[in-house]
Structure 1
Amino acid sequence: MSKFGELISANVPVLFNFFTNWNEDTVAMNAVLRNVAAALGDKAKVIKIDVEKNQELSEALRIKGVPTFIIYQGGEMKWRQSGVQDDNTLIHQLKQLR
């Protein structure tokens, strides 16, 4: 989890996508996340975290459903939402923090 601490301390907003490979909704979000990353370039980071491979972190953050999106900036959680999101919503949330 020390790597997670480094990631959330970034000066730019960091969007985490908590997912599983077997869930259709999380697989469908891959294209959306590519669009978000392309639209924001180096103004934000997009990071995918497999909840099955990162159970300790997922439990610590109380991830109950997938996909779950969390935005951190400067070590602080700024936004959190579970369920499918569209690229415009995610881009809007990230742009508000710049």
Structure 2
Amino acid sequence: MHIPINQVSDVGNAILAVRKESGVRQDDAAGSAGVSHVFLRDLERGKETVQFGRVLRVLEELGIRMVLEIPSTAEARFLALSGKPSPNPSAGEDTERKDPM
């Protein structure tokens, strides 16, 4: 299921739903993710100031994958910044960089 994320409470509700459906107690899930039960409670309630790195740890622990959809116009710049090769170079495009001098 894909869920549009527009606010922290959207992430919190998804985490709560997955955790409850898995039958995992809040303190157990928090301990497994390396965060406090207070942090997880705040996250599940949609607290706006949660630390993003910790959110990612909770998501990973619960098996929730987060994907960002960026405009195609920013793809090349993102790949260059992240050091990742382009997955599908355009047909016929010269993929080697040439020294301008």
Give TM class, smaller chain.
under 0.3
- After TM superposition, the score normalised by the length of structure 1 is 0.27
> Which structure shows the bigger proportion of residues in strand conformation?
1
> Which structure shows the bigger proportion of residues in helix conformation?
2
- After TM superposition, the score normalised by the length of structure 2 is 0.26
Q: Which has the higher contact order (CA 8 A, sep 6+)?
A: 1
